[in-house]
Amino acid sequence: MILQWSVEMPVKAIDKKPAKAGKAAASEKAEGKSTKAPAKKKPNALQQPLQPSPDLAAVVGDGKLTRGEVVSKVWEYIKAGNLQNPDDRREILADDKLRAVFGKDKVTMFEMNKHLARHLQ
């Protein structure tokens, strides 16, 4: 024997806030006025433009750059100069310019950011 249970849930009435007058809201949007103040977003640490040291500027250029842009430009330099170890592509073989930045002849790509951070202000 199969028993069926039927339970009816009470339906809640949904309160809707009255909308603004259509013409007033439309005219504000048409004029470019927003109803909310725009949120001013402060750039995080990765988005802050930083000045590279003279040693690093020889590789990436003189202007202020974000950390992400610096890393991208260093990788462009590494690939253009074929400075990755052919046996272990994670290892970077420094030339004269990169040796001034890294402080040694070989650096893994994982420790590269640590050395770059020393040259950014």
Per residue in 31-83, pLDDT tens? 656 566 667 777 787 789 999 999 999 999 999 999 999 999 999 999 999 99
pTM score: 0.64
List, in order, residues 6 or more apart from 110 with CB less than 8 Å away.
90
Per residue in 8-20, pLDDT tens? 666 666 666 666 6
Per residue in 80-110, pLDDT tens? 999 999 999 999 999 999 999 999 999 999 9
Going by C-alpha positions, the residue among 5, 108, 20, 120 that lies closest to residue 65 is 120
Going by C-alpha positions, the residue among 119, 82, 75 that lies closest to residue 100 is 119
Helices then strands, counting H and E runs in the chain, come out as: 5, 2
Distance CA 72, CA 18 (A): 52
Distance CA 73, CA 107 (A): 17
Give the 3-state secondary structure of residue 120. Answer: strand
